[in-house]
């Protein structure tokens, strides 16, 4: 009985989760007429690639994609470095105020972007960073770093103490111990953290919307938002854009979904 | 005239403008230093060829003077935010295309150069703008931008549908509502009208046209707040909300995005709607992209059957709130003379006509000589002739007063479209909605800082 | 108690090992300071400083293009009597409470289902997390289309019309209730996998012996669930709920892209209203004040989260 319930539940969840994805993907392969006049509902007939080609050649999507990639890579780099350093210090170095720092990281993580976007806009404007990707390079770490640090604290803590001790006994300094011994071992954690940072950066919308107005410097989410609210209606292209935007994250995610689940847990549930 | 603030800023702006004007040679146009580089902001319309045409025009100027122009775009959606951002971060362009309420708004902030003398030179070259459009460019009696064109809104109808049902084509809002009642066939998924009170120009623009055509304005001729609790406003609100009852419109009309009414009209789900020429553009495009003979015939028929009527009138006249585009020079510009030269080039009759050719009827030139020069272009067919007349019916935001920052904020605060929504969605009474709207408008005028 | 949260983050018992000698200790401190420097610069410059500026701005009448003037509590007073803001508060709480409630229930269901399968559990767990990693803008667009009244685009309308259950498309998002339902669904769909995965991990930490003992005593699956699973998950549920509550009440993306706060102001929430006031009406003073109203709630949330993490620690 419970077995049947479990299977039923599984199927239900699969449907709930996959149907929306399928709907979008399927529409991305339909022609304008099929969508406009609802000629075929479930399966695109004829199946067409024109939305994808049109998206690529007629809109600024390739540019936005490039911007998103560049931003995500730069932010990932910054975040991983900052988070690794801070995470290591909090996890492995006993210094006064250690617990306070960990608390601050948690608190900062919980401050919502919706609160900061206005004053942050002014700060970035004063730095001359607005209207370019620099605004994102500076602002994105504010939410990626706390999360990644929290994650890495967990990872570093899980490594045995003895390793560093051995290195320190051998006369190596802290920094060498960190770089030569800890980092390589924490590699899976670093990878997970990097992919988190990439995903968070890839999907961000509010800051990109507010800080950048130049159409050539937009990222994908903001560009898509622009397309949908215009007077022209290339629905198929929008769907195609959605598919293309989701694929990289899904691909990356394949590698680390185990860590992701555990990372979420590490972030949300301690003990 | 509203009192103005930060007199020091205005004085500075005036001084800059005056000195720039004084620096102009008596005859002929501003001189341009070779190698000057200017930033130009223009509106990205829904018609891509038009955007390219304007850019090309700017490049022609650049070539002629050995200068450089970088063109950047803003869209209908981010018109406000883009300029706001630039003002706050001191990165305004040299020349900016300004929509209806922008010149007075930015001039009030001291951001625009005084172009009064320059505008006189333009007058001699390209003619004057009609009296109903000129106020857009002025504040406190000074001119801060050069008007270029009006992007009109028109009342689109399906002629064949009207003919079949023997209903007269509407000239007023009242007639349109009656026609909708006669034409609506919910069972066939066909509706008499598609007017959304959404937060786009299709919404707040039509609401203003509705109000102004009934003689209702929230500001007086002096630009100060005036109460809208009048019988005429009752008529206006009733019209705005009655069309949502009796199944005159599709059920989701209120939630349409900017393209919702386009799509529904082109799909022949609705008989009437207000829109800019982009509907015609879409249909002309469809003919060009037709796949086979049968498809082509169908699309040509559609093109022939759709009519763009002048925007509806009311008991007080035919007034159409629309986007009036003008060009201004920002005070941060390092080369105001070159900026003015660029503007003179863009609004000249020759260049205007070249842009018109690729505009699919979207722009109705405002300056007389440009208007005359583009007459042939608009003579294409009835729809285009109507497009060309857009400037005739233009009424600016804040009618009958001048365009002020407060008027602009009323439009930007979504009050105009939220009020009918409260009746339609929250089931308020018409009186309550008007009362609320009036109170909110007064608040804006009271608290908008001086 | 936040210090304890910090201690808890560091987890486990104090490190064993040789006590550090004086010089090493100072060097440690120095290294720690060095390692923490980038984080501090980031946090101070781009989080605490803007936060301080936000508070300052809320006491001014900053209007774009003009320098600000100090006006004391005027913005707060205005918002307190602004009926649009009252609606924003109502909407935000309805949106958050319903969505989080649904997420809790679905999360439990998802955890139970995943817990019940052994082969392929990791695979399905990964699959079910897909909504969580997708861009919220795309999720918002997706659900906007799912609920669309235009049959070619709207999934529900297409299917219902096709099957014959409907003769006319339903405009789901045209009414305030419908629009609120639609944004809640989008937010729920996106968020419940997080709950499910957390609860699954929580379930894994309930000792098997407890279940076995209960079965031996004759307790059926239902009773085992109510008396063992749920209490065992209590801590996880609370922490996850608090986190999600904070995230959801501050949501911008989903509502902005799906409805822009409409129809009318039916789905206007704190973040979208703040954006509208600041960037369309150009009133930054007031716009920031809207967001600041949530700070007390945020503080309470943080304190509660810390306390629960603390209770867990002392319980061990």
Mean per-residue pLDDT, B103-115: 89
Mean per-residue pLDDT, B278-298: 85
Q: CB-based contact (8 Å) between A245 and chain C?
A: yes
For residue C19, the model assigns a pLDDT of 52
Is residue B13 pLDDT above 60, yes or no?
Answer: no
Share of chain B above pLDDT 70, in %: 93
Q: What is the pLDDT of residues C1-17, one digit of tens each?
A: 444 445 545 544 444 44
User: Pick the residue with more confidence: B340 or A180?
Assistant: B340
- How far does C236 lie from chain A, in Å, by closest CA? 6
Say if residues C229 and C281 touch (Cβ distance below 8 Å): no
- Show which of residues 199-228 on chain C sit within 8 Å of chain A, judged by CB atoms: 200-202, 221
Is residue A262 pLDDT above 80, yes or no?
Answer: no
Mean per-residue pLDDT, B350-359: 86
Residues of A in contact with C253 (CB under 8 A): 205-206, 221
Residue A232's pLDDT band (cuts 50, 70, 90): low
Q: 10 Å Cβ neighbour count for C81?
A: 8
Q: Which of B445, B410, B253 is nearest to B321 (CA)?
A: B410
User: Pick the residue with more confidence: B379 or A2?
Assistant: B379
B149, exposed or middle or buried, with CB in 10 Å at 0-12, 13-18, 19+? Answer: buried
- Nearest chain B residue to A124 by CA distance is B89
Say if residues B38 and B68 touch (Cβ distance below 8 Å): yes
For residue B4, the model assigns a pLDDT of 41
Residues of C in contact with B105 (CB under 8 A): 65
Residue A269's pLDDT band (cuts 50, 70, 90): very low
Is residue B22 pLDDT above 60, yes or no?
Answer: no
Q: What is the pLDDT of residues A5-39, one digit of tens each?
A: 889 999 999 999 999 999 888 888 888 777 776 66
Q: How far apart are CA C158 and CA A266, in angstroms?
A: 42
Share of chain C above pLDDT 90, in %: 36
Is residue B310 pLDDT above 90, yes or no?
Answer: yes
Q: How far apart are CA B381 and CA C238, in angstroms?
A: 68
Tell me which of B89, B201, B268, B288 to substitute to probe the interface with A (most A C-beta atoms closer than 10 Å): B89
Residues of B in contact with C263 (CB under 8 A): 254-255, 421, 425
Burial A141-167 (b: 16+ CB within 10 A, else e): bbbbbbbbbbbbbbbbbebeeeebeeb
- How far does B167 lie from chain A, in Å, by closest CA? 27
Contact C175 B425 (CB under 8 A): yes
Q: Which of A237, A199, A241, A239 is nearest to A220 (CA)?
A: A241
Q: What is the pLDDT of residues A183-209, one digit of tens each?
A: 777 787 888 889 889 988 998 999 998
- Nearest chain B residue to C60 by CA distance is B449
Q: CB-based contact (8 Å) between B431 and chain A?
A: no
Residues of A in contact with C15 (CB under 8 A): 94, 161
- Nearest chain A residue to B84 by CA distance is A213
Q: How many residues are listed for chain A in this entry? A: 271
A-B CB pairs within 8 A amount to: 61
Nearest neighbour of B85 by CB, restricted to A128, A213, A229: A213
- Nearest chain B residue to A59 by CA distance is B48
Nearest neighbour of C38 by CB, restricted to A82, A98, A270: A82
Q: CB-based contact (8 Å) between B255 and chain A?
A: no
Mean per-residue pLDDT, A245-265: 72
Residue B331's pLDDT band (cuts 50, 70, 90): very high
Is residue B3 pLDDT above 80, yes or no?
Answer: no
For residue A229, the model assigns a pLDDT of 60
B238, exposed or middle or buried, with CB in 10 Å at 0-12, 13-18, 19+? Answer: middle
Say if residues A211 and A124 touch (Cβ distance below 8 Å): yes
Kindly report which listed range (B274-278, C137-141, C191-195, C214-218) carries the lowest average pLDDT score.
Answer: C214-218
Mean per-residue pLDDT, B384-404: 89
For residue B9, the model assigns a pLDDT of 43
Task: Please say whether the dihedral angle defined by the alpha carbons of residues C266, C271, C272 and C276, taken in this order, is positive or negative.
Answer: positive
For residue C4, the model assigns a pLDDT of 45
Kind plus residue range of the DSSP H or E element containing A142? helix A141-158
Is residue C184 pLDDT above 80, yes or no?
Answer: yes
Kindly report which listed range (B20-34, B432-446, C43-57, C82-96) carries the lowest average pLDDT score.
Answer: B20-34
Mean per-residue pLDDT, B245-259: 84
Residue A226's pLDDT band (cuts 50, 70, 90): confident
Contact C257 A141 (CB under 8 A): no
Mean per-residue pLDDT, B219-240: 94
Is residue C170 pLDDT above 70, yes or no?
Answer: yes
- How far does C286 lie from chain B, in Å, by closest CA? 12
Is residue B8 pLDDT above 60, yes or no?
Answer: no
Residues of B in contact with C63 (CB under 8 A): 448-449
- How far does A126 lie from chain B, in Å, by closest CA? 7
For residue B24, the model assigns a pLDDT of 38
Question: Using CB atoms, which chains have 3+ pairs under 8 A with C?
Answer: A, B
Nearest neighbour of B255 by CB, restricted to C65, C174, C276: C174
Kindly report which listed range (B13-22, C30-39, C217-226) carries the lowest average pLDDT score.
Answer: B13-22
Task: Please say whether the dihedral angle defined by the alpha carbons of residues C114, C116, C117 and C121, taken in this order, is positive or negative.
Answer: positive
User: Pick the residue with more confidence: C206 or B320?
Assistant: B320
For residue A214, the model assigns a pLDDT of 77
Q: What is the pLDDT of residues B39-57, one digit of tens each?
A: 999 988 877 788 889 999 9
Q: What is the pLDDT of residues B76-107, one digit of tens each?
A: 777 777 787 788 778 899 999 998 888 988 88
DSSP assignment of chain C equals -HHHHHHHHH-SSPPPSPPPPHHHHHHHHHHHHHHHHHHHHHHIIIIIHHHHHHHHHHTB--BTTS---B-TTHHHHHHHH-HHHHHHHHHHHHHHHHHHHHHHHHHHHHHHHHHH--TTHHHHHHHHTHHHHS-HHHHHHHHHHHT-SSTTT-HHHHHHHHHTS-SS---GGGSHHHHHHHHHHHHHHHHHHHHHHHHHHHHHTS-HHHHHHHHHTT--HHHHIIIIIHHHHHHHHHHHHHHHHHHHHT--HHHHHHTTT-STTTT--HHHHHHHHHHTS-BHHHHHHHHHTTHHHHHHHHHHHHHHHHHHHHH-
Is residue B380 pLDDT above 70, yes or no?
Answer: yes
Contact C129 A122 (CB under 8 A): no
Q: Which of C305, C180, B131, B46 is nearest to A269 (CA)?
A: C305
Is residue B116 pLDDT above 70, yes or no?
Answer: yes
CA separation, residue A36 to residues B449, C162, C277 (Å): 47, 16, 35
Residues of A in contact with C108 (CB under 8 A): none
For residue C171, the model assigns a pLDDT of 84
User: Which pair of structure tokens corresponds to residue A92?
Assistant: 């492995």
Q: How far apart are CA C148 and CA A238, in angstroms?
A: 15
Q: How far apart are CA C55 and CA C12, in angstroms?
A: 38
- How far does C188 lie from chain B, in Å, by closest CA? 22
Q: What is the pLDDT of residues A64-88, one digit of tens each?
A: 999 999 999 999 999 999 999 998 8
- How far does A230 lie from chain B, in Å, by closest CA? 6
- Nearest chain C residue to A101 by CA distance is C6
Is residue B2 pLDDT above 50, yes or no?
Answer: no
B268, exposed or middle or buried, with CB in 10 Å at 0-12, 13-18, 19+? Answer: middle
Q: How far apart are CA B383 and CA B390, in angstroms?
A: 11
Nearest neighbour of A232 by CB, restricted to B78, B89, B259: B259
Contact C197 A264 (CB under 8 A): yes
ipTM over 0.85: no
Q: How far apart are CA C5 and CA C264, in angstroms?
A: 42
Is residue B272 pLDDT above 90, yes or no?
Answer: yes
What average pLDDT is seen over chain C?
84
For residue C86, the model assigns a pLDDT of 94
Tell me which of C151, C154, C180, C264 to substitute to probe the interface with B (most B C-beta atoms closer than 10 Å): C264
Residues of C in contact with B198 (CB under 8 A): 262
- Tell me the residues of B at the C interface, defined by beta carbons under 8 Å apart: 5-6, 80-81, 84, 87-88, 105-106, 108-109, 111, 186, 189, 198-199, 250-255, 263, 409, 412-414, 418, 421-422, 425-426, 447-449
Q: What is the pLDDT of residues C105-154, one digit of tens each?
A: 999 999 999 988 888 888 888 889 889 888 899 999 899 889 988 777 78
What average pLDDT is seen over chain B?
86
Residue B273's pLDDT band (cuts 50, 70, 90): very high
Residues of B in contact with A59 (CB under 8 A): none
- How far does B108 lie from chain C, in Å, by closest CA? 9
Give Cβ neighbours of residue B446 (< 8 Å, ≥ 6 apart): B225
Report the DSSP beta bridge partners of residue B274: B155
Q: 10 Å Cβ neighbour count for C219?
A: 16
Nearest neighbour of A213 by CB, restricted to B78, B267, B278: B78
- How far does B358 lie from chain C, in Å, by closest CA? 31
Q: 10 Å Cβ neighbour count for B34?
A: 7
Kind plus residue range of the DSSP H or E element containing B302? helix B293-305
Kindly report which listed range (A128-132, B4-8, B251-255, B388-392) carries the lowest average pLDDT score.
Answer: B4-8
- How far does A83 lie from chain B, in Å, by closest CA? 31
DSSP assignment of A156-216 equals HHHS-THHHHHHHHTT--HHHIIIIIIHHHTHHHHHHHHHHHHHHHHH--HHHHHH---GG
Q: 10 Å Cβ neighbour count for A55?
A: 24
For residue C21, the model assigns a pLDDT of 57
Kindly report which listed range (B22-36, B327-341, C136-150, C244-258) carries the lowest average pLDDT score.
Answer: B22-36
Report the DSSP beta bridge partners of residue B225: B219
What average pLDDT is seen over chain A?
83
Say if residues B444 and B221 touch (Cβ distance below 8 Å): no
User: Pick the residue with more confidence: B109 or A232?
Assistant: B109
User: Pick the residue with more confidence: B319 or C6?
Assistant: B319
Cα B109 to chain centroid distance, Å, stands at: 22
Tell me which of C161, C260, C280 to substitute to probe the interface with B (most B C-beta atoms closer than 10 Å): C280
- How far does C240 lie from chain B, in Å, by closest CA? 34
For residue C20, the model assigns a pLDDT of 52
Kindly report which listed range (A4-18, C97-111, C208-222) carries the lowest average pLDDT score.
Answer: C208-222
For residue C165, the model assigns a pLDDT of 84
For residue A30, the model assigns a pLDDT of 86
Say if residues A144 and A201 touch (Cβ distance below 8 Å): yes
Contact A229 B74 (CB under 8 A): no
Contact B259 A215 (CB under 8 A): no
Q: CB-based contact (8 Å) between C174 and chain B?
A: yes
């Amino acid at each position: 009985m419970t077995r049947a319930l479990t299977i039923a539940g599984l199927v239900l969840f699969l449907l709930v989760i996959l149907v929306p994805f399928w709907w979008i993907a399927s529409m991305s392969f339909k022609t304008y007429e099929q969508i406009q006049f609802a000629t075929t509902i479930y399966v695109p007939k004829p199946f067409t690639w024109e939305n994808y080609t049109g998206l690529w050649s007629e809109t600024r999507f390739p540019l936005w994609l490039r911007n998103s990639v560049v931003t995500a890579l730069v932010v990932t780099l910054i975040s991983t470095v900052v988070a690794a350093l801070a995470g290591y210090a909090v996890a492995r170095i006993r210094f006064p105020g250690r617990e306070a720092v960990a608390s601050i990281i948690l608190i900062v993580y919980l401050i919502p972007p919706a609160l900061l976007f206005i004053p942050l806009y002014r700060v970035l404007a004063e730095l001359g960073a607005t209207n370019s990707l620099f605004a994102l390079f500076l602002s994105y770490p504010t939410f990626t770093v706390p999360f990644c640090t929290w994650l890495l604290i967990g990872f570093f803590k899980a490594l045995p103490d003895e390793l560093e001790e051995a290195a320190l006994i051998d006369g190596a300094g802290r920094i060498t111990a960190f770089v030569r011994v800890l980092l390589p071992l924490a590699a899976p954690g670093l990878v997970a953290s990097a992919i988190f940072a990439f995903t968070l950066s890839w999907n961000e919308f509010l800051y990109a919307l507010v800080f950048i107005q130049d159409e050539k410097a937009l990222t994908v989410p903001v560009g898509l938002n622009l397309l949908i609210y215009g007077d022209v209606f290339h629905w198929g292209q929008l769907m195609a854009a959605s598919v293309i935007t989701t694929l990289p994250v899904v691909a990356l995610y394949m590698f680390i979904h185990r860590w992701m689940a555990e990372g979420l847990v590490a972030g949300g549930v301690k003990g | 005239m509203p009192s103005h603030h930060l007199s020091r800023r205005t004085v500075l702006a005036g001084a800059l403008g005056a000195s720039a004007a004084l620096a102009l040679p008596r005859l002929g146009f501003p001189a341009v230093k070779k190698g000057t580089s200017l930033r130009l902001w223009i509106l990205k319309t829904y018609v891509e060829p038009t955007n390219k045409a304007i850019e090309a025009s700017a490049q022609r100027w650049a070539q002629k003077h050995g200068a450089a122009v970088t063109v950047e775009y803003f869209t209908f959606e981010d018109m406000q935010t883009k300029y706001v951002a630039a003002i706050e971060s001191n990165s305004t362009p040299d020349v900016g295309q300004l929509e209806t309420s922008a010149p007075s708004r930015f001039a009030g902030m001291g951001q625009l150069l005084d172009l009064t003398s320059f505008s006189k030179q333009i007058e001699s070259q390209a003619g004057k703008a009609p009296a109903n459009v000129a106020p857009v460019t002025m504040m406190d009696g000074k001119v801060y931008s050069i008007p270029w064109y009006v992007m009109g809104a028109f009342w689109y109808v399906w002629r064949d549908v009207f003919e079949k049902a023997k209903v007269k084509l509407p000239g007023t809002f009242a007639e349109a509502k009656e026609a909708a009642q006669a034409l609506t066939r919910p069972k066939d998924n066909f509706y008499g009208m598609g007017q959304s009170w959404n937060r786009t120009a299709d919404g707040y623009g039509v609401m203003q046209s509705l109000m102004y055509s009934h003689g209702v304005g929230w500001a007086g001729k002096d630009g100060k707040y005036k109460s809208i609790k009048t019988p005429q406003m009752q008529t206006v609100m009733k019209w705005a909300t009655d069309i949502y009852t009796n199944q005159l419109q599709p059920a989701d009309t209120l939630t349409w995005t900017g393209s919702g009414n386009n799509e529904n009209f082109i799909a022949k789900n609705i008989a009437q709607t207000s829109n800019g020429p982009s509907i015609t553009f879409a249909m002309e495009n469809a003919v060009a992209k037709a796949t086979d003979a049968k498809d082509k015939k169908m699309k040509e028929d559609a093109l022939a059957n759709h009519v763009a009527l002048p925007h509806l009138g009311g008991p007080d006249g035919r007034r159409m709130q629309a986007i009036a585009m003008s060009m201004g020079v920002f005070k941060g510009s390092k080369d105001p003379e070159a900026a003015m030269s660029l503007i003179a080039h863009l609004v000249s009759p020759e260049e205007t006509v070249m842009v018109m050719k690729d505009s699919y009827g979207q722009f109705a030139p405002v300056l007389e000589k440009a208007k005359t020069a583009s007459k042939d272009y608009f003579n294409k067919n009835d729809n285009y002739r109507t497009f060309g007349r857009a400037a005739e019916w233009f009424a600016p935001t804040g009618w009958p007063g001048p365009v002020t920052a407060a008027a602009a904020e009323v439009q930007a605060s979504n009050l105009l479209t939220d009020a009918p929504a409260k009746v339609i969605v929250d089931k308020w009474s018409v009186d309550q909605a008007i009362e609320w709207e009036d109170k909110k408008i007064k608040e804006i005028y009271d608290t908008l800082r001086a | 108690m936040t210090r304890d949260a910090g201690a808890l983050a560091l987890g486990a018992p104090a490190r064993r090992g040789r006590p550090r000698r004086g010089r090493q200790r100072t060097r440690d401190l120095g290294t720690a300071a060095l390692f923490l420097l980038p984080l501090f610069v980031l946090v101070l410059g781009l989080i605490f400083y803007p936060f301080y500026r936000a508070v300052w701005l809320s006491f001014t009448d900053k209007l774009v293009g003009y320098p600000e003037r100090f006006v004391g509590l005027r913005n707060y007073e205005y918002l307190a009597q602004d009926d649009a803001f009252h609606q924003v508060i109502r909407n935000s709480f309805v949106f958050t409470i319903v969505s989080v409630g649904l997420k809790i229930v679905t999360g439990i269901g998802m955890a139970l289902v995943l817990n019940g399968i052994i082969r392929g559990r990791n695979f399905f767990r990964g699959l079910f997390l897909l909504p969580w990693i997708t861009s919220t803008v795309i999720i918002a667009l997706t659900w906007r289309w799912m609920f669309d009244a235009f049959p070619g685009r709207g999934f529900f309308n297409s299917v219902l019309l096709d099957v014959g259950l409907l003769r006319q498309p339903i405009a789901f998002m045209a009414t305030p209730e419908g629009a609120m339902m639609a944004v809640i669904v989008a937010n729920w769909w996106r968020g419940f996998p997080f709950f499910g995965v957390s609860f699954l991990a929580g379930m894994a930490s309930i000792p098997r012996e407890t279940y076995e003992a209960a079965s031996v005593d004759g307790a059926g699956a239902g009773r085992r669930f109510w008396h063992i699973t749920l209490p065992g998950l209590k801590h996880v549920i609370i922490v996850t709920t608090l986190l999600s509550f904070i995230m959801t009440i501050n949501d911008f993306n989903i509502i902005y892209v799906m409805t822009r706060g409409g129809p009318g102001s039916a789905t206007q929430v704190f973040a979208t209203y703040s954006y509208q006031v600041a960037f369309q009406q150009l009133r930054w003073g007031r716009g920031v004040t809207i967001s600041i109203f949530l700070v007390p709630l945020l503080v309470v949330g943080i304190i509660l989260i810390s306390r629960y993490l603390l209770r867990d620690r002392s319980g061990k």
